[in-house]
Structure 1
Amino acid sequence: MIELTGWEPLGIPVDWEAIEGELQTPLPADYRELFEAFGGGVFSDSVYFLGHDEGLAFDFLTQWRVALSVDRDSGAGDVSAVEPYSIYAPGGKGLVPWGSTEWGDEYFWLIDAGRPGEYPIFARAEDGEWHRYEISTSEFLYRVLSDTDFQPFGIARYALGTTFEPGSGDDS
């Protein structure tokens, strides 16, 4: 991803023990590398990556906490925003958001605390259809940005380039 985007790694210091302690499960090793190198922000002006952001928009933990809170909101009944799944709750099994697009596509890992080390990617297209991928986060992002045949998620066909812009650091 660094080579593809021409990005200079930030080397963000991360307290993984605290983050993974709150989640009660480890995160994918390649995601940790992406997080430390890029922080949170936008690839190719359209693919949002959750990592570290001084603001809220691209901050991984903030977005996961919000998704979990909404998923647990009893005012919504037993309906989940990620039907037929649910958002991961510490120590359990569910989806953890890590990216999205301006078109409404959403990217998650299915995390099962009882099966650490397994991180299938579940991606939901804007039409609501779910797709499962047994590839790493880095490979998924790479294919989204550079593979014109990676449908329905590939954006290379739009010739947007392969850039990265870090999060703004503000809370808006």
Structure 2
Amino acid sequence: MKGLHMWVQRILEFTGWEPSAHSVDWTAVEEEIQIPLPADFKELCEAFGGGTFCDSVAFLGSMEGSHFNLLLPWRAPLPIPVESGQYPEYTPGGKGYVTWASTEWGAEYCWLVDAQQPGTYPVLARGDAGEWCEYDMSTSEFLYRVLADKDFQPFGIARYGLDPTFQPGPEAHGG
């Protein structure tokens, strides 16, 4: 795992997590959802897998199983369309948001994805009030700021003094 993205490295240092080698067939994943995923998100997935940061941010970094799995929305169609306001939920080949993390307080962290503009991934964040905020930064920078930057409002959780931990999902070990 040499040459990690700077922000991925910072998250590893912040949490004290020893990167595990989660192998992911990215070609199959990206074919399934019909978009390439951000390189730093792939690094996060390979270093952490799916799990929970600071006991409160659920990271969807797994591509298998039923916990912390980024791909579940495409594999289990929702019976009722989700009303999301100004951004629709992404459907393969279209434009919309893809959720990659959420918090126990109801915040969602997503990308705004457009199949016609692969490689462009502004981060969208939505708090419990439902308003979307757009950030022009990488997935790993946004996640680091949420976890470690006390001044990152309104989504930062560092101000709560939570332990800088990572807890892998139940399928991370031999699942």
TM-score normalised according to structure 2 size: 0.87
Q: Is the 8 A contact 1:57 1:63 kept in 2?
A: no
**RMSD of aligned residue pairs (Cα, Å):** 1.6
Q: Is the 8 A contact 1:28 1:119 kept in 2?
A: yes
Unaligned runs of 5+ in 1: none
Asked if residue 27 in structure 1 is aligned to residue 21 in structure 2, the reply is no
Asked if residue 46 in structure 1 is aligned to residue 68 in structure 2, the reply is no
What letter matches 2:145 in structure 1?
Answer: R
Asked if residue 57 in structure 1 is aligned to residue 59 in structure 2, the reply is no
What letter matches 1:59 in structure 2?
Answer: N
Q: Which stretch of the first structure deviates more once superposed, 79-88 or 21-30?
A: 79-88
Q: Give the whole-Å Cα distance in 1 for the aligned partners of 2:128 and 2:89.
A: 18
The aligned counterpart of 1:128 is 130
What letter matches 2:135 in structure 1?
Answer: Y
CA displacement at 1:64 relative to structure 2:
4.8
Q: Give the whole-Å Cα distance in 2 for the aligned partners of 1:131 and 1:161.
A: 26
Count of residue pairs the alignment pairs up: 162
Question: Equivalent pairs: percent with the same residue?
Answer: 59
Asked if residue 137 in structure 1 is aligned to residue 139 in structure 2, the reply is yes
Q: How does 1:108-119 map to 2 (within 5 A)?
A: 108-119=110-121
CA displacement at 1:63 relative to structure 2:
4.0
Judged with a 3 Å threshold, the aligned counterparts in structure 2 of structure 1 residues 118 and 53 are, in CA distance, closer, same or farther, namely: closer
Q: Which stretch of the first structure deviates more once superposed, 80-89 or 132-141?
A: 80-89
The aligned counterpart of 2:4 is none
Judged with a 3 Å threshold, the aligned counterparts in structure 2 of structure 1 residues 63 and 4 are, in CA distance, closer, same or farther, namely: farther
What letter matches 1:139 in structure 2?
Answer: E
Correspondent of 2:26 among 2, 16, 21: 16
TM-score normalised according to structure 1 size: 0.88
The aligned counterpart of 2:7 is none
The aligned counterpart of 2:82 is 80
Q: Is the 8 A contact 1:50 1:60 kept in 2?
A: yes
Unaligned runs of 5+ in 2: 1-10
CA displacement at 1:51 relative to structure 2:
1.1
Deviations 1:71-104 (A, max 9, x none): xx4xx4xx63322211111111111110000000
